[in-house]
Amino acid sequence: MKRFRRIVVSTLTVLALAAGLSACSGGSGTAAIVTRLTNLFFLHHSVGDGLVVAGNMRAAVAAYNTANGTNFTFWDHGYNGDGLRNAAGVSTGTNYDVPDDNLDPDGYFRLWTGTDAAAVACRNLILNNHQVIVFKSCFTTSTIADAAELQNRQDWYLAMRNFFDTRPDRLFIVVTAPPVHHLDTTTTQADYSRALAGWLSSSTFLSGHPNVRCFDLFDRLANVDDGSATANMLRTEYEDDPQGTDSHPNALANTTLGPILAQFICAAAAGYAVPAR
């Protein structure tokens, strides 16, 4: 596999931060500086790639800019071997060297809270180069076996949220993991995975943390929680092969949800102003 160099795109940092500053008039007549976040970044693996490419998220961001007079740019990063794509969707030939290429909840726990050199280096690259940070795990993590495993996941996300609280200059958007194909999961796993997604998108997790948002991708891709045999599993219309076990959402899912996710990110960014210090 081609090796990618891990670098800081310093011009990106300067331009992104410069674009994020806008002046407005304070009530006393003095000029106040309100920081708006315009550089959007999505960290993902294969399901995310389908949303970005087939779902044409960059076009959706451009459409949002045209409709709202905003100037958002959208960058994304897949597996380390795929690396970082710039606002035009072109590979930069670099990556952020995500530790162990692990974007499961335990990998994110390490990325956002770890003190080891690899975690700190990756975290700093992301935080220095981007302002609105969107991240998701894959459907392979929607296999929660029991209440203890659910609690463990929740504890990891709470620790991440504690870190996010220290960085009000950044907006963090958790994207819940997709559901699993009905032929490759169990009712118990599906139900616990729904519970985690519901908790992440609830006021229990989000209230009082204004720079944390959640896009519930699980709910948008999963069958309703109605007690049926395939409840909380990947919807039939979003299965690539109803007779197979591939849980990657199909083209219909990508083209439907990619623009919705892009608009959610833009709206969240437009609605958030970095608090004055």
Q: What is the CATH number of the domain that holds 200?
A: 3.40.50.1110
Res 63 pLDDT > 60: yes
User: Which residues lie below 8 Å from residue 184, measured CB to CB, with a gap of 6+?
Assistant: 245, 247
Determine, yes or no, domain membership for 1. no
Q: Is the pTM of this model over 0.75?
A: yes
Determine, yes or no, domain membership for 4. no
Determine, yes or no, domain membership for 33. yes
Q: Residue 109 sits in which domain range?
A: 10-274
Average pLDDT, the chain: 90
Quick: pLDDT tens for 71-116: 999 999 999 999 999 999 999 999 999 999 999 999 999 999 999 9
Of 32-36, 44-48, 117-121, 145-149, least confident by mean pLDDT is 32-36
Determine, yes or no, domain membership for 142. yes
